[in-house]
């Protein structure tokens, strides 16, 4: 194939700026000035004869041409990095960067990750946790495990597992609870998903009392606060069974309600790498609900 002079610096700057969604953040990652980033983008746009970014009230957004170019460059730079790692007798390690909901990371994934690393030493998993709010491209991730109902715009996702919610509280508080309505006598700790408690009380067949407890954006924080005796928290039982086993929390009622499930998600226009396919198949095998993506 006849190749024109490739402006590699400008292409690299474009890839980082698109992923970060900001010239300022791109400059920080590349350790250059924002002016240098702007110059390289302008040079690339002039060379290609197209506009690559739009500045909007939502921030820096790639144009249709930019969205077409980005996944090709990202895949290409990743392939070059893997090839360079293989030079000089170094083992070819493929890095997979995965953002993980903190509750899932601590309650399920981390205790099992050693088994994956033993089975696939050629893949290095780099985990970063979040409170379920994650932007895969801007954070430089390949995939993310998140909780919800799926259907995220611009992403593909496979279901991993359902995680029914049920009230958990400290053992001393559980002795006061004979019926679901008795929960109205104590503080109901809340997540940012306001429909969870009303949904549980509906499943229990009783009216939901006023819910005015503190709102936390982490199930780990909710569990710790509940274990301290501050109130009852509506939590995914399978993620906190170790709290129950240790006697720190008690599940006073067997009634559960589903508020979503955990998914493995990735940008729909991202080429599936060997590492992505392998990790997805492993997750599906650990909690089989759907088959994962296959690399081309």
Contacts of residue 164, defined as CB under 8 A and 6 or more positions apart, other chains included, come to 236, 237, 238, 256, 257, 258
Write down the pLDDT at residue 3.
58
Write down the pLDDT at residue 290.
46
Task: For 8-69, give the CATH class.
Answer: mainly alpha
Are 212 and 206 spatial neighbours (Cβ–Cβ below 8 Å)?
A: no
Write down the pLDDT at residue 51.
95
Write down the pLDDT at residue 200.
97
SS3 17: helix
The listed CATH number (1.10.1330.10, 3.40.190.10, 3.30.1360.70, 3.30.70.270) that belongs to domain 163-258: 3.40.190.10
Q: Kindly report the CATH number that applies to the domain delimited by 94-161+261-284.
A: 3.40.190.10
Write down the pLDDT at residue 113.
93
Closest CA to 179 of 254, 236, 256: 254
Are 238 and 223 spatial neighbours (Cβ–Cβ below 8 Å)?
A: no
Are 211 and 224 spatial neighbours (Cβ–Cβ below 8 Å)?
A: no
Dihedral pair phi/psi, residue 91, rounded to 5°: -65, 140
- Per domain, the residue ranges of the chain are 8-69, 94-161+261-284, 163-258
Write down the pLDDT at residue 46.
93
Alpha helical stretches, state H, 167-250: 171-174, 196-204, 219-227, 241-245
Dihedral, 79, 84, 86, 89 alpha carbons, nearest 10: 170
Dihedral pair phi/psi, residue 172, rounded to 5°: -65, -30
SS3 55: strand
Write down the pLDDT at residue 76.
85
Identical fold between 94-161+261-284 and 163-258 = yes
**C-alpha span between 56 and 21 (Å, rounded):** 11
Write down the pLDDT at residue 81.
74
Are 30 and 16 spatial neighbours (Cβ–Cβ below 8 Å)?
A: yes
Write down the pLDDT at residue 240.
94
Note the pTM of the prediction, 2 decimals: 0.70
Provide the residue count of the chain. 296
- DSSP classification of residue 273: P
**Could you report the average pLDDT of every consecutive run of 10 residues in the chain (296 residues)?**
74 91 89 94 93 85 90 83 67 85 92 93 92 82 91 90 94 95 94 91 95 88 96 94 95 93 90 91 74 49
């Amino acid at each position: 194939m006849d190749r024109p002079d490739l402006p590699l610096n400008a292409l690299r700057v474009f890839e980082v700026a698109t992923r970060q969604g900001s010239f300022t953040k791109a400059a920080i990652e590349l350790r250059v000035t924002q002016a240098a980033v702007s110059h390289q983008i302008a040079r690339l746009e002039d060379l290609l004869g197209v506009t690559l970014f739009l500045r909007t009230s939502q921030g820096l957004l790639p144009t249709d041409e930019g969205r077409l170019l980005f996944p090709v460059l990202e895949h290409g730079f990743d392939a070059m990095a893997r090839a360079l790692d293989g030079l000089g007798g170094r083992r070819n390690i493929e890095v997979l960067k995965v953002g993980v909901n903190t509750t899932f990371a601590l309650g399920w994934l981390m205790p099992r990750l050693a088994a994956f690393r033993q089975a696939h030493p050629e893949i290095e998993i780099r985990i970063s946790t979040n409170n379920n709010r994650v932007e895969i491209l801007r954070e430089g991730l390949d995939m993310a495990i998140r909780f919800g109902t799926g259907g995220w715009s611009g992403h593909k996702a496979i279901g991993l597992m359902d995680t029914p919610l049920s009230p958990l509280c400290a053992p001393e508080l559980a002795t006061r609870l004979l019926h679901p309505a008795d929960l109205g006598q104590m503080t109901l700790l809340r997540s940012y998903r306001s429909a969870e408690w009303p949904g549980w009380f509906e499943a229990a067949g009783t009216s939901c009392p006023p819910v005015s407890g503190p709102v936390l954006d982490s199930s780990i924080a909710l569990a710790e606060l509940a274990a301290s005796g501050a109130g009852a928290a509506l939590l995914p039982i399978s993620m906190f069974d170790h709290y129950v086993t240790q006697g720190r929390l008690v599940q006073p009622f067997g009634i559960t309600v589903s508020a979503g499930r955990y998914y493995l998600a990735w940008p729909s226009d991202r080429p599936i790498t060997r590492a992505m396919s392998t990790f997805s198949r492993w997750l599906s095998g650990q909690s089989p609900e759907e088959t994962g993506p296959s690399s081309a």
